Each structure stands twice: as C-alpha cells, then as structure tokens.
Chain A
Amino acid sequence: KAGVTQTPRYLIKTRGQQVTLSCSPISGHRSVSWYQQTPGQGLQFLFEYFSETQRNKGNFPGRFSGRQFSNSRSEMNVSTLELGDSALYLCASSSLLTDTQYFGPGTRLTVL
C-alpha cells in the first residue's frame, strides 16, 4: 500500500497570504489528522476529519481550517498568514481497525 502523501513538500508565502495544504491518506483509511510542528511549541494537534466531518479540534485560531472529501483526501487552509505559522505541517491517517496513526512526510511552510 502506498503511504500517506502530502503536497506540496515545501512552500514559501508572505504574511497576509493564505495557503492550502493537501493530504492523501493510505487507501482505506477514513480518518485524517493534522499536526503542526515548531521548534518552540513542538508537535500540536490541529484537527481530525472522519467521513468528511471534523471530529476533533485542537486549540488553534479560526484562521486554521480544513475539510475532507468523499475519497478521504483532506486539505487544510491557513488564512492571513503570520510569521509564527512557519512550521512543518504533518498529516496522519488511520483506520478503524488500529490505534496507530501513519504520518506523511510533511509540508514545510515558511512565512516571510
């Protein structure tokens, strides 16, 4: 089975812009979770989508949003980018049969 894929791998944006990141889960996995990793705050949970519905949400401002499509692919969007949004954004997928999350390689976002 192909692993979790994320596109793009690298992104450079300027403050005030918005960005959309994409995640394709492992075939058959219906849950997709997103995490932000920064040197200062570490790995933090953003949100989880399951069957096109947001099932869980972390403590991030409303500028961070996401959605999931009927094929389980997920996108996350960050509007009005701030310097502090520079981070590695990781998505993970999982199935109902396991508690294990499988992570993609991440998208490294740099905000200038």
Chain B
Amino acid sequence: SQQGEEDPQALSIQEGENATMNCSYKTSINNLQWYRQNSGRGLVHLILIRSNEREKHSGRLRVTLDTSKKSSSLLITASRAADTASYFCATVPNGGATNKLIFGTGTLLAVQP
C-alpha cells in the first residue's frame, strides 16, 4: 500500500509558470524524497529533505516539509517543456529501512510550450 497521496493528480501549465505539487503521508518519517519519471521510464532523484529540515532548494526546485501536518510540497519555478513528467514523493518511515521507499501516487505535470 502507498504511504503518500499526491495532489493534484494532474497539472497543466504554460512554460514560464510555476508548478506546485503536494504530498501527504501517513506515518512519521526519516526523510522524504522527490523523483521525476519521464513517460514510463526510470525514476530520477530530484531532492531529499530530512525530517529535521523545513525547506530545501536545488536549482529551480524548492521543497518544503511540514512534519506536523505530514505533508510536503515541491515547487518548480519558471517551468520548461522539458519538465513535463510524472513527479513522485517517496518516504522512508521512521525506523524503517533506508532503501525501502514508499511512494506516493504521483502528479502528472504537463508544461505547454
């Protein structure tokens, strides 16, 4: 069963706009990670945020984590057509195995040129 629910399920925006995706999870976590998947291919790791961190940046990506609400958000600024993909959050539960990721349901992002 999946730990995370992502919202929205699908998002369509224009190039240059910002895209925000949200992830909610059920149990306390050690860390939360975001991955991108292009058209049914392999997953690409984007960013990892630990349970004691509140915000993290990487290039055009900004991730926030609110452990009291058991939620995270991924913001992609100044989106490009190449950002079109599915985005998944994945958690490592507290006390859980480091390499046993529990994935959310994913958000399908379409960036229109």
Contacts and interface: CB of A to CB of B under 8 A. Distances in A.
A56 B97 contact: yes
Contacts of A41: 2
Nearest to A48: B99
Nearest to A105: B42
A64 interface: no
Which range holds the interface residue count of chain A? Answer: 20 to 34
Which range holds the interface residue count of chain B? Answer: 20 to 34
A48 B100 contact: yes
A43 interface: yes
B11 interface: no
Nearest to B104: A42
A45 B2 contact: no
Contacts of B45: 100-103
15 contacts: A33-B101, A35-B103, A42-B103, A44-B2, A45-B102, A56-B100, A90-B43, A92-B43, A99-B33, A99-B98, A100-B45, A101-B99, A102-B45, A103-B35, A103-B43
